[in-house]
Amino acid sequence: MQLSRVSLVLSLVVLLAACGGKEEADLKPEVVSESVSYTHDGVELEGYLAYDKNREGKRPGILVIHEWWGLQDHPKERARRMAELGYVAFCVDMYGRGKVSDEVPQAQAWSGAFYGDRAGFGRARLQAGYDVLAKHERVDASKIGAMGFCYGGTVALEAAWADMGVKGVVAFHGSLTTPGESDKVTAAVLVCNGADDVWVTKEMIGAFETSMAERGIEYDLVSYEGAVHAFTNPGASDRGMDNVAYHKAADEKSWEAMKAFWEKHLQ
């Protein structure tokens, strides 16, 4: 009889533990987002942070880098989706607080300020955003990645070339740069490219793949048939620009490829 009571107590303990674990696992994501003010080189910046408040402990962090229009809704929406997956996502501000535009000349001027020499493409500005994310109390600083769109995809590659500390980078429809001779690269790279994007030429792709092979960098470059530039942004088709359009299938397939990439390199 004594053994039966002990067995009953143990069974209840196991059952309660199992029920509690199931309840925690079944919690739906509750994404919290907030603006984050920081500075770089005397410039006031305003990033955007998103995380799931129901996830306990330190989580992998993702830097999200905006298109050349500035920190608009598209990267913020992607940051919230990353938070739903369990990452702490931080949209960096490459231009400065309030600097967003739908005008090509203005966007070109802002992004163009980071082009030119090897230290360009916004490495130092991106490093400032990286530092904000790495120091956040919810982030495991040993597990940080970077992802970006269009101009931001190009900047994400620079996070890898600069050996900023990221474990991997994902570039969505960005221009393809390659490491400089002095760059030390330890991050893995995923490039999601529109197969019909006339701004990413066969020559650029060939040079990129040759550089990756020569440097022994772990990479994958996937080109999606029928997709042009900005294929992940649902609002891209509304801009009335040649070679700029949303492509639902490419958006969804590249998102799944990205998820698998992060599961491999950040979990």
Residue 24 lies in a domain: no
Cα 29–chain centre separation: 19
Residue 79 lies in a domain: yes
Confidence (pLDDT) at 120: 63
Confidence (pLDDT) at 19: 41
Structural domains counted in the chain: 1
Tell me the C-alpha to C-alpha distance, in Å, between residue 103 and each of 81, 99, 108, 160. Answer: 27, 12, 9, 30
- pTM score, whole prediction: 0.89
Residue 66 lies in a domain: yes
3-class state of residue 258 by DSSP: helix
Mean pLDDT over each residue of the chain, to the nearest integer = 90
Residue 18 lies in a domain: no
Residue 38 lies in a domain: yes
Q: Which helix (H) or strand (E) holds 162?
A: none
Confidence (pLDDT) at 12: 35
Confidence (pLDDT) at 15: 35
Phi first, then psi, for residue 4 (nearest 5°) are -65, -40
Residue 168 lies in a domain: yes
Confidence (pLDDT) at 119: 55
CB 79, CB 64: distance < 8 Å: yes
Confidence (pLDDT) at 14: 37
Confidence (pLDDT) at 117: 56
Residue 21 lies in a domain: no
Domain that holds residue 247: 29-265
* CATH code, 37: 3.40.50.1820
Which regions in the chain score pLDDT beneath 50?
Answer: 1-24, 118
Confidence (pLDDT) at 2: 43
Residue 2 lies in a domain: no
